[in-house]
Amino acid sequence: MFGIPTLEFRFRGKSRLLLDIYYCFIEQGSPALHPTQIAKHTGISFAEVARRLDATPELFVRLPTRAGEVTRYRITSSTSARSHEEVEALVQKNVQRESLLFYSVGAMVFLTLIIVVLTIAPNV
């Protein structure tokens, strides 16, 4: 609305959900799953599953659909070539990056407020 970009964290706080979805694909053994199938298997809400699948193209890809077909997702080829430990490490690395970004933005806001207070305080 005001041209201020919002920070949306795709991994921070959602690593367990992403790994649950990843392991659902592995356990089902199906190359393509609909978000409803994933939601039933994992117990995560359909809306949250759909958001996570769309928000993380590093892990999941939407398959092209024809007229009348349902949207299905699969694990990316680079993710399927990795071991389970490597996928968990990838998710954790992205969580750490987003946490670093979160704390650095918080520090910038805090330091900006300190500068404003120190600028105004001598005049009071």
The CA-atom distances, in angstroms, between 43 and each of 11, 84, 96 are 19, 21, 26
Among residues 13, 93, 78, 5, the alpha carbon closest in space to that of 51 is found at 13
Query: Angle at which helices 15-28 and 35-42 pack, to 10 degrees?
Result: 100
| pLDDT computed for residue 4 by the predictor | 60
| pLDDT computed for residue 80 by the predictor | 92
User: Domains of the chain, with CATH numbers?
Assistant: 15-123 (1.10.10.10)
Q: Assess contact for 15 and 95: CB atoms under 8 A.
A: yes
Q: Which helix H or strand E contains 62, and what residues bound it?
A: strand 60-62
Q: Assess contact for 21 and 49: CB atoms under 8 A.
A: yes
| pLDDT computed for residue 5 by the predictor | 65
Q: What pTM, to 2 d.p., does this model score?
A: 0.84
pLDDT tens digits, the chain, 124 residues: what are they?
Answer: 565 667 788 999 999 999 999 999 999 987 899 999 999 999 999 999 999 999 999 999 999 887 778 889 999 999 999 999 999 999 999 999 999 999 999 999 999 999 999 999 887 7
Count CB neighbours of 17 within 10 A.
Answer: 17
